[in-house]
Structure 1
Amino acid sequence: MLDDTDRRILRQLQAAPELTNAELAERSGVSAASCWRRVEKMQARGVIRGQEAVIDWQVLGYSVEVSLRITLDKTRPQAFDEFIAEARKVPEVLEIQTFLGRVDTRLHVIARDMAHYQQVYRTRILTLPHIADIEPLMHVARIKSDEALPI
């Protein structure tokens, strides 16, 4: 699927996504034209989905981070779909994951402080449909946060 040159390009993109095509080509050891074609091809195949700005929400005043492990009432056929549709509407929910097992979903929630979290929890989270059980896990420290693939 990917050759060594593609992997070199991807490693450089992961390390420094702000590089121009010429800089990326130089660091990857290929011509600018070849680099451009390869990047375009990887984008067309969905290997590269895009580039994004990574914003540090803590710098913007959000100091509380909580993972909510949620078990849904699965006696309702549309429980997952209805829950996820409503959870998507909560701005403080940064991520929604679904699982197989005892826990059905995990919501990654941020808040400015504990008072804000309590308000979000009571007015936005507890009103989500089909919740059978919630287990909150307060984040204490982020030990590793790396989205770069080992390619």
Structure 2
Amino acid sequence: MLDDLDRRILRHLQSDPAQSVPDLGDRLGVSVSRLTRRLDKLRDSAVLRGQHAVINWRALGYAVEVSLRVTLDKTQTRAFDDFIEAARDIPEVIEIQTFLGRVDVRLSVIARDMAHYQQIYRAGILTLPHIADIEALMHVARIKSDEGLPL
């Protein structure tokens, strides 16, 4: 599926996604037009899904991160759909993951401080539909956070 040039393009983009196409072409030794065609091919095949700004929410005053493991009342046929739809509306929920097993959903929640988290929890999280059980895990340290692939 990927040839050597595609892998080289992806490696360079992983290390510096903001670099310009001409700079990337120079680094790879290919013309801008050839590189643009390859990038279009990678996007069309959904290998490249776009470029994202990574925002350091801690620098914006969000000092607390909590991971909530949620078990839903699966006797309700729309439990997952209703829960996820409502959870998306809470701005401080920055990630929603679903699982198979005892835990159905994991929410990552950020807050400015513990008082702010308590307000989010009481006014937002506890009002979400179809919750059977919640386990909260306070985030202490992020040891590894790398979405790069070994290409």
TM bucket (normalised to shorter chain) is over 0.9
Write the letter of the residue equivalent to 1:58: R
Supply the RMSD in Å over aligned alpha carbons. 0.7
Name the CA distance, whole Å, in 1 between partners of 2:54 and 2:110: 15
Residue 120 of structure 1 aligns with an amino acid whose one-letter code is: I
TM-score by length of 1: 0.98
Q: What one-letter code is carried by the residue in structure 2 that aligns with 1:98?
A: T
Divergent runs of 4+, >6 A:
none
Structure 2: gaps of 5 or more residues: none
What is the DSSP-based 3-state SS (H/G/I as helix, E as strand, rest coil) of the residue aligned with 1:110? Answer: strand
1:38 aligns with 2:27: no
How far residue 30 of structure 1 moved from its aligned partner, in angstroms, is 2.0
The aligned residue for residue 20 of structure 2 is 20
Per-residue deviation, 1:101: 0.3
Mapped partners of 2:119, 2:47: distance in 1: 40
Instruction: Look up the match of 2:2.
Output: 2
1:1-150 counterparts in 2 under 5 A?
1-150=1-150
Task: Using structure 2 for the length normalisation, give the TM-score.
Answer: 0.98
Q: Secondary structure at the match of 1:133?
A: strand
Task: Name the CA distance, whole Å, in 1 between partners of 2:130 and 2:29.
Answer: 54
Letter of the structure 1 residue corresponding to residue 112 of structure 2: R
Distance 2:147 2:9 in 1: 16
**1:8-43 Cα deviation digits (max 9, x unpaired):** 001101111111111111222322221111001111
Unaligned runs of 5+ in 1: none
Once the two structures are overlaid, the 10-residue window that deviates more, 138-147 or 31-40, is 31-40
Question: Deviation string for 1:92-148 (max 9, x for gaps)?
Answer: 000000000000000000000000000000000000000000000000000011111
Q: Identity of aligned pairs, percent?
A: 68
More deviation, 23-32/110-119:
23-32
Structure 1 stretch displaced more, 26-35 or 76-85: 26-35
Aligned length: 151
